[in-house]
Structures are given as structure tokens and as C-alpha cells.
Amino acid sequence: MKHLNIKIFGFVQGVNFRFFVEQKASELGIKGFVRNEPDGTVYVEAEAPDETLNKFVEFCKRGPTFAGVENTEIKESKFEHFSTFEIIG
């Protein structure tokens, strides 16, 4: 199991990005959260096996149809043992 912090830059707020991230996380069995940041980015913390997180990260790099992802920052972090995946903020 692994914990990733993912920051997504670009046209990512106001395009249902958080909803699509939550749906994909649920589909893949990922635990954690997603939220909009004041700087216009979307921030995700996600926990799952490596292979599952790799699929999830690829989805985050594309985003939903109306999003325009310009860049992603991905850092591994301390495992938090989340029990659900939710939209916060």
C-alpha cells in the first residue's frame, strides 16, 4: 500500500473534476480525499496498492472532458489509513 499527494494544475475547478476523481477512486477502491485549493488547483490524497494508484494518477493527468490539466505534482507520503474517499471543502 502506498500514499500519494497529488496536486493538479490547469483549468481544473468548475469542471466537475472533484466529482470525477471521487467516482474513479470509488471504482478503483482508493481511499483518501479530493479538494479544491484557493490557488485554483485540485489536491488529492490517495491510498491504494501501487498498480491501482498508477491507473488513478493517469486518470488525474487527463481529468474529465472539460478540464485542461497542465501539470501534476506527485509526492509519496506517510500512510494515513483512510477508510473512505470523499470530496472535502
Residue 71 annotated to the active site = no
Residue 36 annotated to the active site = yes
**Residues forming beta bridges with residue 2, ordered by sequence position:** 48
| CA 70 – CA 55 distance, rounded (Å) | 18
DSSP state letter for 28: H
* Residue type at 40 in one-letter notation: G
Q: Active site residue: 16, 35, 36, 54, which one?
A: 36
Catalytic amino acids?
Answer: 18, 36
